[in-house]
A and B are shown apart, each in its own frame.
Chain A
């Protein structure tokens, strides 16, 4: 018999087909580049369309857009600021509630579970409305009057669903650690709190990072909801610019400009999340 030169298909060594999609660093770069190019073309087309359909012909669409771009960008930066602060507040609350969700005390565990489920399954805009209209605009503490401006209330309103989602991420991360870790820590006489902070959470941390980043990207996009409750964010300014110019044909490129800013910010986060997930998967 000739070695390794059989025609019988069953005896041929299995060769995996070459991957169709580019892999490694090429994939995000190419996909990212392609998406950006597509966006740029769409943007250009919308500008051209606006230029052509303008009646009567006034300033060029590009001029108008350039005039408003800095202001819209400032508004966008305000969205980012709100997203930072809500994420920070939501994470602090969410971590505590998430840990409470694996408490040995059943009343604590059930309460934390109930709170998590309630805020996780409520529409973000409705929660935002509640925060805006139920929280006082100022409150007194030891004779001091502390102002509670609308943007602070908005941060609290957005932090509620974020906290509930972080709570689930933390609970899932803790649950993903094998029970043998708890068992051996218990056998070494660690207290439950020590086990949690020194053994379980440090291991669960890296598994929580990708979903947490994903949540942050979603929150950033959701910050435009605050324009509905009367806070001047990027979306409010874009709308005001359109009203001021009263050129309806500019609607598509103007909103697209804001959209591009969000995309440029959120897309790298999404890519990094995927990359991290892949890396942790290989190691696990």
Chain B
């Protein structure tokens, strides 16, 4: 499948990454490259290290070996300014993790004001625009507890976007949602991808991956078993493990 937009320079370059929790290896020699404007989906069975890989990209989880470069910056460098890395990398979690004591608008505005030290009026204007973009202009003053799961997840996406990241990571963001609200969130992500945002998604939504991804990675047991265009991976998988997995989930 031909890419729908011009692909730019590599934004995320992962080379030979290994990670163990104690003596248990979660990632064994993982390498992948994501270019600017590209949408990449990582699929695979539970416990294959997908979520860990995402958390390694923004430095939430330190890696044991290898190299991860984000916008030319080595993540595994002790002298790295973690704050500057995280301004470039937005992440959205499965459990939304909104701040329950703040309204939707405040959730979006907090980090730009207190972390980026931007002017409040400018931030508020941007926050309102972002919340309108994810379809929540009616819910600006609602608290997370008053929103549905799908709405909370869209606030979480707006909150990450407010930092103007270079790449967005999505960690099974629809796994806790019912089919109806799932759709709202997926459409939001699809719009983002279409606008040229670099997105890396860990997902169990095979249909979505097939439709939106430029590149699909299938992981199992801490390894990338197979990767390629969605048409290749879904339509004509080469590896037995990929076939077995796709047979079970499709």
Give the interface of A toward B (CB within 8 A): 178, 180-181, 183-191, 194, 198-199, 202-203
Are B163 and A184 within 8 A (Cβ)? no
Q: Which 3 A-B pairs have the closest CB atoms?
A: A184-B97, A189-B86, A180-B97
Which residues of A are found within 8 Å of B101, using beta-carbon distances?
202-203
Q: Which residues of A are found within 8 Å of B98, using beta-carbon distances?
A: 184
Cβ < 8 Å to A, chain B residues 148-174: 156, 159-160, 163
* Contact B93–A188 (Cβ < 8 Å): no
Measured between C-beta atoms, what is the minimum distance from A160 to chain B in Å?
Answer: 32
CB pair B60 A186 closer than 8 Å: yes
**Assuming A188-B86, A190-B115, is B99 touching A181 (CB within 8 A)?**
yes
- Residues of B contacting A203 with CB < 8 Å? 99-101
Whether, in the assembled complex, B95 has its beta carbon less than 8 Å from a beta carbon of chain A, the answer is: yes
Whole-angstrom distance between the Cβ of A6 and the nearest chain B Cβ: 34
With a cutoff of 8 Å between Cβ atoms, the chain A residues found around residue B160 in the complex are 187-188
19 contacts across the A-B interface (CB closer than 8 A)? A178-B97, A180-B93, A180-B97, A181-B97, A181-B99, A183-B60, A184-B91, A184-B97, A184-B98, A186-B60, A186-B86, A187-B91, A188-B111, A189-B86, A189-B111, A190-B111, A194-B114, A194-B115, A198-B114
Contact of A187 among B86, B100, B110 (CB under 8 A): B86
Q: Tell me which residues across on chain B come within 8 A of A184, comparing CB atoms.
A: 91, 93, 97-99, 156
Main secondary structure of the interface of A (DSSP, over half): helix
Question: Min CB distance, A277 to chain B, in Å?
Answer: 19
Across the interface, A189 reaches (CB within 8 A) one of B97, B99, B156, B163, namely: B163
Beta-carbon contact of B159 and A188 below 8 Å: yes
Q: Which of B43-67 contact A (CB under 8 A)?
A: 58, 60
Query: Is B114 within 8 A of A187, CB to CB?
Result: no
Bound form: Cα–Cα A202–B101 in Å: 7
- Which B residues form the contact surface with A (CB < 8 A)? 58, 60, 82-83, 86-87, 89-91, 93, 95, 97-101, 110-111, 114-115, 156, 159-160, 163
> What are the residues of chain A within 8 A of B60 when measuring CB–CB?
183, 186-187
Contacts of A187 in B (CB 8 A): 58, 60, 86, 89-91, 160
- Asked, given contacts A183-B60, A183-B93, A194-B114, whether A188 binds B100 with beta carbons under 8 Å apart, the answer is no
Given contacts A180-B93, A181-B97, contact A188 B58 (CB under 8 A): no
Least Cβ–Cβ distance between A126 and chain B, in angstroms: 41
Partner among A181, A189, A194 whose Cβ is within 8 Å of the Cβ of B87:
A189
Closest Cβ of chain A to B51, distance in Å, is: 11
Given contacts A184-B98, A189-B86, 13 further A-B contacts (CB under 8 A): A178-B97, A180-B97, A184-B99, A184-B156, A186-B60, A187-B91, A188-B86, A188-B110, A188-B115, A189-B82, A189-B115, A190-B111, A190-B114
In the complex the two chains form, is B93's CB within 8 Å of A189's CB? no
Residue of B nearest to A190 (CB): B115
State the Cβ distance, B128 to closest chain A Cβ, in Å. 19
Given A181-B99, A183-B60, A203-B101: A189 and B83 within 8 A (CB)? yes
CB neighbours (8 Å) of B89 from chain A are 187
Shortest B154–chain A CB gap in Å is: 15
Q: Closest approach, in angstroms, between the C-beta of B37 and any C-beta of chain A? A: 22
Contacts of B82 in A (CB 8 A): 189
Taking CB as reference atom, which chain B residue is nearest A283? B145
| Bound-state Cα–Cα, A180 to B171, Å | 13
Instruction: Tell me which residues across on chain A come within 8 A of B90, comparing CB atoms.
Output: 187
Residues of chain B within 8 A of A178, CB atoms compared: 97
Provided the pairs A188-B86, A189-B87 are in contact, do residues A183 and B97 lie with their beta carbons within 8 angstroms? yes
Nearest opposing residue in chain A for B86, CB measure: A189
Q: In the complex, which residues of chain A have a beta carbon less than 8 angstroms from the beta carbon of B100?
A: 203
